[in-house]
Amino acid sequence: MRKVTESDLPGVGVRFDLQTDGGRNVGVVAHQTGRRDLVIYDEHDIDRACESVVLTEDEGHTLGELLGGSPVLEHLDDAVHRLEDLVISWVTIGAKSSLAGQTLAEATLRTRTGAGVVALVSESGSIPIPAGTERLEPGDTAVVVGVPSAVKAATRLLTRAG
Amino acid sequence: MHTGGDLLAIEPGAGVLGLASVGSVDSSLVVELGAVVLGLAVVARLARRIGLPALPLYLLAGLALGQGGIFEVSATEDFIEVGAEIGVILMLLMLGLEFSTHELIANVRRTTLGGFVDLALNFPPGFVAGLILGFDPVVAVLLGGVTYISSSGIVAKLVADLDRIGNHETSVVLSILVIEDLAMVLYLPIVSGVLFGGTALDTTVTVAISLLAVLAVLTFAYFFGERLSAFALSQSSEALLLTLLGGTLFVAGIAGRLNLSTAVGAFVVGVALSGDIVSHARGLLLPLRNLFAAVFFVFFGLQVDLGSIPDVAVAAGVIAAVTVVTKIATGWIAAGRVGIGKPGRVRAGAALIAHGEFSIVIAELGIAREGDLGALAAAYVIILTLVGAVLYQFSDSITVRARKRRHARA
What CATH number is attached to the domain comprising B186? 1.20.1530.20
Q: Which of residues 266-295 of B touch A (CB under 8 A)?
A: 279
Q: Which CATH architecture has domain A80-159?
A: 2-Layer Sandwich (3.30)
pLDDT score of A33: 80
Asked if pLDDT for residue B324 goes beyond 90, the answer is: yes
Closest residue in B to A30 (Cα–Cα):
B166
pLDDT interval class at A54 (50, 70, 90): very high
The Cα–Cα gap between B198 and B304 comes to 27
pLDDT score of B319: 96
Q: What angle do CA B203, B207, B212 make, to 5 degrees?
A: 150
Tell me how close the Cα of A58 comes to any Cα of chain B, in angstroms: 19
**Higher pLDDT among residues B136 and B7, named by residue:** B136
| Greatest mean pLDDT among A31-40, B70-79, B398-407 | A31-40
A48 touches chain B (CB under 8 A): yes
Average pLDDT over residues B355-377: 88
Residue type, B128: V
Q: Which of residues 107-136 of B touch A (CB under 8 A)?
A: 107, 110
Query: Does a structural domain hold residue B23?
Result: no
Q: Residue A22, SS3? A: coil
Tell me how close the Cα of B270 comes to any Cα of chain A, in angstroms: 13
From chain B, the residues in CB contact with A9 under 8 A are: 165, 170-171, 174
Element (H, E) at A75: helix A72-76
E-state strands within A3-150 = 5-9, 13-19, 25-31, 36-41, 49-55, 80-83, 86-92, 116-122, 125-128, 141-146
Length of chain B: 410
A11/B178 CB distance under 8 A: yes
pLDDT score of B150: 93
The Cα–Cα gap between B265 and B210 comes to 11
The residue extents of the domains of chain A are 5-70, 80-159
From chain B, the residues in CB contact with A41 under 8 A are: 166, 168
pLDDT interval class at A78 (50, 70, 90): very low
The Cα–Cα gap between A53 and A62 comes to 14
Residue type, A62: T
Average pLDDT, chain A: 83
Average pLDDT over residues A102-110: 87
A7 touches chain B (CB under 8 A): yes
- Closest alpha carbon to A114 in A58, A140, A83, A152: A152
Tell me how close the Cα of B153 comes to any Cα of chain A, in angstroms: 12
pLDDT score of B72: 67
pLDDT score of A5: 86
pLDDT score of B283: 86
How many domains would you assign to chain B?
A: 1
Query: Does a structural domain hold residue B5?
Result: no
pLDDT interval class at B410 (50, 70, 90): low
pLDDT interval class at B3 (50, 70, 90): very low
Asked if pLDDT for residue A116 goes beyond 80, the answer is: yes
Query: Does a structural domain hold residue B13?
Result: no
Average pLDDT over residues A24-51: 90
Predicted TM-score of the model (pTM): 0.74
Q: Are B288 and B87 in contact (CB under 8 A)?
A: no
- pLDDT tens figures, B54-86: 888 898 888 888 766 666 666 667 788 888 899
Asked if pLDDT for residue B11 goes beyond 50, the answer is: no
From chain B, the residues in CB contact with A17 under 8 A are: 168
A12 touches chain B (CB under 8 A): yes
Cα torsion B336, B341, B346, B349: sign: negative
A36 touches chain B (CB under 8 A): no
Burial code (b: 16+ CB inside 10 Å, e: under 16) for B82-95 equals ebbbbbbbbbbbbb
List the domain range (segments joined by +) for residue B161: 29-409
Q: How many CB atoms lie within 10 A of CB A43?
A: 11
B179 touches chain A (CB under 8 A): no
Asked if pLDDT for residue B177 goes beyond 80, the answer is: yes
- pLDDT tens figures, B217-247: 778 877 877 777 777 777 788 888 998 999 9
C-alpha atoms less than 13 angstroms from C-alpha of A16 in its C-beta half-sphere: 12
A47/B169 CB distance under 8 A: yes
Average pLDDT over residues A20-27: 89
